[in-house]
């Protein structure tokens, strides 16, 4: 019996030792995996670095590209498009004006009654209309006839509070967010469709002329006074309420910037200088590129898999369309190379754009002690369950790195515009000029950590003294009302307007 007992004891001891060895090996394996995952995270953080010196280099490069784009067509990755908007709203505008905002599968029609400097916007109304899918791939006349018919219905509902001055034709601002080559304030040739539209007979046509013919076919007496994009609409809306607005930046699904330039500082402008001495420039800054941008392997892979390889590089690292997918790509690398989510890589993690920026924002704004929002999002979106707190903390950190880089680079872009305008420093002996940047877009509006980081970074770049005179201001729905305001500031009735104000 003694020998049996000893044997059993030896066997049990060996079993315990083997189990302990397995546990140690498992822990060592887990420890090794975690170390690899953290190494990937730290390398990503380093390559996304946006030191103050780096941001100044990016801003300087932005300013250089702005000069090059203004000097000649094709002289820069920045198109620096002349908008033909040389009269921004002043606040003195009176009367009834319409706007049409066409930029996707829905369009909006809006009207405003303006009451001059004292009353400003007396009343406004709008309707939103969904475009039937067949019209998005049909012919030009069908699309514009549909839009004009909805516009006619809206005009017919003009009620109390809206008054068209006697002898006046209704005037409309047209926000058209597709690529056009503009020839004047109220004409522009469609270069190509995006966003699911494919109407071949409209390409190469003047979209204002197409809309005007459709409006006439519907029997509506209305003139298209201005053709603009959403960024210029935001600039106009901002300037109407605040005369210190000099630039507008959209940070939403995509991104762009527009600003007010001195007309004599545009070498490629060959026409007569406008009376105002100013011209709004549509930068198309999403296409900005510089060797100083902190790009990573994840940005390069995203670009290579995109529909516009090599283009819109700035947009691909700062805008809402892409931030969530950069996070996904980093997590995928950690899952593949370091078994970050266990031995099996979650299948959904391989799906491009499965992790959207709103979900990234929700994780980044998780303030719970156990990061339960991060855990819930990983489960709902990627099918990853039972994550550890350390895993959730690492995911939170990836979101933070991506958002911080995007926000700080956006601030550097704005600082580049301020440098171009000479508003980045306080000049000795001169009174400080107030400078307002009108901001719009869902990313800026809803991703609070992003927008706060942007504002903090801009202050850091400017320094305390100059930062006192620079204000970043949210201009909600600036592009909608902005188009109507541009119709007012480019009205065909300036003499009548003067007469109204004199009486």
List the structure tokens of 189.
């040739």
Q: Which of 76, 83, 140, 177 is catalytic?
A: 177
Q: Are strands 121-130 and 187-190 parallel, antiparallel or unpaired?
A: unpaired
Place of tokens 């829905």: 106
CA-CA distance, 422 to 78, in Å (whole number)?
19
CA-CA distance, 503 to 496, in Å (whole number)?
11
Task: Respond yes or no: is residue 230 known to be catalytic.
Answer: yes
Place of tokens 């966003």: 195
CA-CA distance, 210 to 19, in Å (whole number)?
79
Q: Which of 86, 230, 303, 325 is catalytic?
A: 230
Given strand 245-251, what is the order of strands in its sheet?
Answer: 81-82, 278-282, 255-262, 245-251, 435-440, 470-474
Nearest CA to 112 out of 157, 151, 161, 165 is that of 161
Dihedral pair phi/psi, residue 77, rounded to 5° = -65, -25
Q: Which of 101, 108, 408, 479 is catalytic?
A: 108
Task: Respond yes or no: is residue 350 known to be catalytic.
Answer: no
Q: Is 78 helix (H, G, I), strand (E, B) or coil?
A: coil
Task: Respond yes or no: is residue 177 known to be catalytic.
Answer: yes
CA-CA distance, 91 to 120, in Å (whole number)?
7
Q: How many CA atoms lie within 13 A of 180 on its CB side?
A: 27
What is the C-alpha radius of gyration for the chain, rounded to an integer number of angstroms?
28
Give the residue numbers marked as catalytic.
Answer: 108, 177, 230
């Amino acid at each position: 019996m003694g020998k049996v007992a000893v044997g059993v004891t030896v066997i049990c001891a060996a079993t315990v030792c083997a189990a302990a060895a397995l546990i140690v090996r498992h822990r060592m394996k887990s420890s090794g995996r975690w170390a690899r995952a953290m190494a990937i995270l730290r390398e990503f953080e380093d390559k996304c670095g946006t030191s103050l010196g780096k941001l100044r280099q990016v801003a300087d490069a932005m300013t250089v590209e702005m000069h090059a784009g203004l000097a000649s067509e094709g002289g820069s990755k920045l198109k620096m498009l002349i908008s033909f908007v040389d009269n921004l709203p002043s606040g003195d505008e009176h009367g009834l004006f319409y706007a049409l905002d066409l930029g996707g599968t829905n369009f909006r029609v809006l009207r405003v009654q303006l009451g001059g400097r004292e009353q400003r916007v007396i009343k406004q109304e709008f309707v939103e209309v969904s475009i039937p899918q067949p019209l998005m791939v049909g012919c030009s006349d069908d699309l514009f006839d549909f839009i004009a018919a909805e516009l006619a219905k809206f005009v017919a509902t003009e009620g109390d509070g809206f008054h068209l001055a006697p002898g006046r034709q209704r005037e409309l601002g047209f926000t058209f967010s597709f690529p056009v080559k503009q020839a004047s304030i109220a004409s522009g040739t469609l270069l190509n469709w995006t966003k699911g539209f494919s109407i071949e007979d409209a390409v190469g046509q003047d979209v204002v002329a197409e809309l005007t013919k459709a409006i006439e076919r519907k029997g509506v007496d209305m003139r298209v006074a201005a053709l603009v994009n959403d960024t210029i609409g935001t600039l106009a809306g901002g300037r109407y309420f605040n005369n210190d607005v000099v630039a507008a930046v959209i940070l939403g699904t995509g991104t762009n910037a527009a600003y007010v330039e001195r007309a004599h500082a545009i070498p490629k402008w060959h026409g007569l200088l406008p009376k105002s001495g100013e011209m709004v420039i549509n930068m198309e800054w999403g296409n900005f590129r510089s060797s100083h941008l902190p790009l990573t392997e994840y940005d390069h892979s995203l670009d290579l898999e995109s529909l516009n390889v090599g283009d819109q590089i700035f947009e691909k690292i700062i805008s809402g369309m892409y931030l969530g997918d950069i996070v996904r790509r980093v997590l995928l690398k950690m899952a593949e190379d370091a078994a970050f989510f266990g031995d099996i890589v979650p299948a959904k993690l391989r799906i491009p754009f499965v992790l959207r920026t709103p979900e990234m924002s929700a994780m980044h704004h998780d303030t719970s002690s156990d990061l339960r929002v991060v855990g819930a999002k990983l489960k709902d979106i990627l099918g990853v369950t039972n994550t550890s707190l350390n895993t959730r903390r690492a995911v939170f950190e990836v979101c933070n790195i991506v958002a911080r880089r995007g926000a700080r680079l956006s601030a550097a872009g704005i600082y580049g515009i301020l440098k171009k305008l000479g508003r980045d420093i306080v000049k000795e002996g001169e009174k400080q000029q107030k400078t307002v940047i009108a901001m719009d877009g869902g990313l800026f509006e809803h991703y609070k950590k992003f927008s706060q980081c942007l504002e903090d970074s801009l202050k850091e770049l400017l320094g305390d003294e100059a930062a006192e005179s620079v204000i970043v201001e949210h201009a909600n729905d600036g592009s909608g009302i902005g188009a109507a305001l541009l119709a007012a500031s480019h009205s065909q009735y300036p003499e009548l307007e003067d007469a109204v104000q004199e009486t």
